[in-house]
A and B are shown apart, each in its own frame.
Chain A
Amino acid sequence: MNFTQAPFPINIDGCTRIFFSTRSTKDKDGNYCSYIHFADYDIENGKIVSFSETPLIKSGGRGTFDEHGTYPFSLIRYDNRFFGYYGGWSRKISVPYEVKIGMVTSEDGKNFEKCGEGPVIGASLFEPMTISGPRIFEFNELLHMFYISGTKWKLDSVGKPESIFKIRHATSRDGINWIRQNSNILDSILEEDECQASPTVFYAHSYYHMLFSYKYGSDFRGTDRGYRLGYAISENLYNWRRVDAMLTIDASEESWDNRDISYPSFYNYINRNYIFYQGNDFGKSGFGYAKLTFLEE
């Protein structure tokens, strides 16, 4: 298995099912495709019970938005069914790729059916490029999607185009038609071209809380410009205040996550709160989780 990226846990009838993405081996052009799998995890005993055998979502046909991979994925139970959302990847000429958000439904949380050949959320007037990293939540009987939107392609120090992206928000009643907030919901603190990703949102102590990843816009691989964890709070899910300093991470001594913690995903299991995340080198070694506690608790 190459890479286990973007862990997304969900409690399905008492079982912790963790969806994640793996990469294929590289093709002759050095490109790979990502596919979504899941592992069923016994969180009481700390044991993986089973793995999915085949990719959950097939790559799309020739010329479609998800022809070259599906990554990442999130899932919600809504209206007695499961709605899943994923980033569908296709390769371009002037820039390496484009991503749009696809949708699948499921009756059992195991077998998924695409809602169409095309994307459920593509580019729009104020979100011109890559639309990816969907995270789906339900609050107050409304579906909320937090996702990333590419604002521009920036050439790095060797002239390679890197996508600059920010966290965005949209709402829906049916999961298909989305109303976009159409603004960057978080301030950038590293630099104007700070990239923000993998928002996970939960409600506790009268506030909505968001954990996310952020990094410098270019030259971030193998440097100290890579992903770190951010923290923001909101009273209404639309207006967010960054409170990064209020997040404390106990340093790890382990070799798989001692440098990077990225792609956080909140998980509640019988009154215990966890954060699942991927470790060093964009999840090359694997993913894990940590307990989440509030200081006032």
Chain B
Amino acid sequence: MVTISGKRLLFSTEGKAWRGKIMQFAQSPQVLIMGNKLRIYFSTRESNDEKFLSHVAYAEFDEKFKLLNFTDSEVLSLGSLGTYDEHGIFPLNVVRFKERIFGYVGGWNRRKSVQIDGAIGISESFDNGKTFVRIADGPIIDSSLSEPFLIGDPFVIHVNGTFHMWYIYGKEWIKDPITESFERIYKITHAISANGIDWTKDSLNSQLISDSIGPNEAQAMPTVIKINDAYYLFYCFREVFDFRENPKNTYRIGCSVSSDLRNWQSEEIEFEQQGHEEDWDSEMRCYPHAFTWKGKNYLAYNGNRFGEEGFGLAEILTSVR
């Protein structure tokens, strides 16, 4: 059993501006620890005609989680014409490796017959994480024979000399019989790498985490943390249709546990209620990111309306296994 304790809205978009406009959304929090400061990257939206573009910014917090500052410019520019990440970056998963800082890019591009496609790229920072540049313009993980589209949501850790990545791949675009729009089903999978750049996909079991609400379940944003001797994988999942407005069908956060990073067992998860002021995640919880800081384990995540109000933070408590 995992208990998510002391949850609160950590970063609110209310009253904030970004690049001269009202800040819309602060989604998919991703942490980089800077000594006594906590830096959290997030994606914010900028309207472009009727569509929007997601850009990466960050906010910094002190040891008591007081907001110190946030950036007013993008950390990594969008990709050039025709590339995998020209219409949005969501998330930017930031990983320290020795003296280097890599940024794994969840890149999105718009298509004609369906809304979007995605692939995963890599960038690197040479100014201590303030800005990132692409190692090259193409993706490091693209669609493949058994993962036909919608590659995204990278999360990378380095364990005993091997890089591990959890990410999502699209399985099917299916038509909502009521709205007649095409909606996507995606699942979580895993790849490994020796250098963080060249990856080998798992070929044995493509779908890593079993469905808990049925085959049409969409699973997203895997994040892995080691607590004591076990690995915990948090992710969000939802129904394929009517998930934007209907709280019954929308994202909630799930958890699986593993001792070997290969075999995952579903683990019960409970969010401790904080009282009436905690309305920010009353209907939806999505895009989790787990990290350890100063001896405690935390989960950052988004609440209602996919993080329009900002992102929250809570402590992860595990019972002795």
| A67 B139 Cβ-Cβ under 8 A | no
- Give the contact stretch, choosing among B29-37, B144-152, B270-278, B302-310: B144-152
Other-chain residue from A64, A92, A117 in contact with B109 (beta carbon distance below 8 A)? A92
B131 at interface by CB-CB < 8 Å: no
A125 at interface by CB-CB < 8 Å: yes
- Chain B binding site: helix, strand, loop or mixed by DSSP? loop
| A118 B147 Cβ-Cβ under 8 A | yes
- A:115-171 near B, CB below 8 Å: 115-120, 122-130, 150, 152-153, 161, 163
Complex CA gap A100/B197 in Å reads: 21
Other-chain residue from B81, B113, B145 in contact with A119 (beta carbon distance below 8 A)? B145
A201 at interface by CB-CB < 8 Å: no
Chain A residues near B175 (CB-CB < 8 A): 62
| B136 A128 Cβ-Cβ under 8 A | yes
B242 at interface by CB-CB < 8 Å: no
B267 at interface by CB-CB < 8 Å: no
Residue in chain A with minimal CB distance to B147: A118
A242 at interface by CB-CB < 8 Å: no
| B84 A128 Cβ-Cβ under 8 A | yes
CB contact under 8 A between A176 and B84, given known A62-B113, A94-B110, A128-B138: no
Chain A residues near B137 (CB-CB < 8 A): 128
A103 at interface by CB-CB < 8 Å: yes
Complex CA gap A178/B182 in Å reads: 33
A65 at interface by CB-CB < 8 Å: yes
| A122 B82 Cβ-Cβ under 8 A | no
Chain A residues near B91 (CB-CB < 8 A): none
Other-chain residue from A94, A118, A125 in contact with B197 (beta carbon distance below 8 A)? A125
Give the A interface residue count (CB, 8 A): 38
A90 at interface by CB-CB < 8 Å: yes
CB contact under 8 A between A176 and B138, given known A90-B111, A90-B113: no
Chain B residues near A228 (CB-CB < 8 A): none
CB distance from B155 to the nearest CB of A (A): 19
Chain A residues near B83 (CB-CB < 8 A): 128-129
- Chain A CB count within 10 A is highest, among B113, B173, B182, for B113
| A65 B148 Cβ-Cβ under 8 A | yes
What interface size band does chain B fall in? 35 or more
| A124 B142 Cβ-Cβ under 8 A | yes
| A125 B114 Cβ-Cβ under 8 A | no
Complex CA gap A63/B110 in Å reads: 11
| B173 A62 Cβ-Cβ under 8 A | yes
A61 at interface by CB-CB < 8 Å: yes
Complex CA gap A94/B144 in Å reads: 23
CB contact under 8 A between A95 and B111, given known A103-B145, A125-B136: no
Chain B residues near A68 (CB-CB < 8 A): 112-113
| B173 A61 Cβ-Cβ under 8 A | yes
Residue in chain A with minimal CB distance to B148: A118
A249 at interface by CB-CB < 8 Å: no
B170 at interface by CB-CB < 8 Å: yes
| A63 B80 Cβ-Cβ under 8 A | no
B86 at interface by CB-CB < 8 Å: yes
Residue in chain A with minimal CB distance to B110: A93
Complex CA gap A130/B140 in Å reads: 15
| A65 B139 Cβ-Cβ under 8 A | no
Please list the residues of chain A having a beta carbon within 8 angstroms of any beta carbon in chain B. 60-65, 67-68, 90-95, 98, 100, 103, 115-120, 122-130, 150, 152-153, 161, 163, 176
Please list the residues of chain B having a beta carbon within 8 angstroms of any beta carbon in chain A. 80-84, 86-87, 109-114, 117, 119, 121-122, 135-140, 142-150, 170, 172-173, 175, 182, 184, 197
Between A and B, 16 residue pairs with Cβ closer than 8 Å are: A62-B114, A62-B173, A63-B148, A63-B150, A67-B113, A68-B113, A90-B111, A92-B82, A92-B110, A95-B82, A117-B146, A123-B142, A124-B140, A152-B80, A153-B82, A163-B82
Closest 9 CB pairs of A and B: A116-B145, A128-B138, A118-B148, A122-B142, A91-B112, A117-B148, A63-B173, A128-B137, A93-B110
